[in-house]
């Protein structure tokens, strides 16, 4: 079984500043993926970034990057140059790879507000 924990229910950041969202996970699987999803007020789930556990290099997507600490089972999201459109709920998620289903396990989310 996998668990994902997000310890920051809410955060805020000034426009153009940098913010880091925390996530820890627990899994007994050796092969797994980690994700950050964004859910704006429209409620559409949007994939922000993903990380394969076997890759040591941290994933980056434009202004979004992760700090993946495998031994510590930590997977934080850094948003640089925050924009008003980044205001949303952010969910950390994991999925194991192998036989069976590839269900995503989500954390409870962090509500991010970008302040003008």
Partner 1 sequence: NAGVMQNPRHLVRRRGQEARLRCSPMKGHSHVYWYRQLPEEGLKFMVYLQKENIIDESGMPKERFSAEFPKEGPSILRIQQVVRGDSAAYFCASSARGSGSYNEQFFGPGTRLTVL
Nearer to partner 1, 3 or 12 (CB): 3
As measured in angstroms, the least distance from the Cβ of 38 to partner 1 is 11
As measured in angstroms, the least distance from the Cβ of 32 to partner 1 is 9
Residue 47 neighbours by CB under 8 Å, 6+ apart: 35, 36, 37
Local structure of 17: helix, strand or coil: coil
Distance CA 5, CA 85 (A): 25
Distance CA 33, CA 42 (A): 26
The CB-side HSE value for 60 (13 A sphere, CA atoms) comes to 4
Q: Considering only the stretches 10-18, 57-65, 70-78, 94-102, report the one whose residues sit in contact with partner 1 under the rule CB under 8 A.
A: 94-102
As measured in angstroms, the least distance from the Cβ of 63 to partner 1 is 20
Site for partner 1 in 20-79 (CB under 8 A): 33, 42-47, 50
Residues that bind partner 1 (CB under 8 A): 4, 33, 42-47, 50, 91, 93, 95, 97, 99-109
């Amino acid at each position: 079984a996998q668990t994902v924990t997000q310890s920051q229910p809410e955060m805020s950041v000034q426009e153009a500043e940098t913010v880091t969202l925390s996530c820890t996970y627990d899994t007994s699987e050796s092969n797994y993926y980690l994700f950050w999803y964004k859910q704006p007020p429209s409620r559409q789930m949007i994939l922000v970034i993903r990380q394969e556990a076997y890759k040591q290099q941290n994933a980056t997507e434009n202004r979004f990057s992760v700090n993946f600490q495998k031994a510590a089972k930590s997977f934080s999201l850094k948003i640089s140059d925050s924009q008003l459109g980044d205001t949303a709920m952010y969910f950390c998620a994991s999925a194991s790879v192998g036989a069976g289903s590839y269900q995503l396990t989500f954390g409870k989310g962090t509500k991010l507000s970008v302040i003008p």
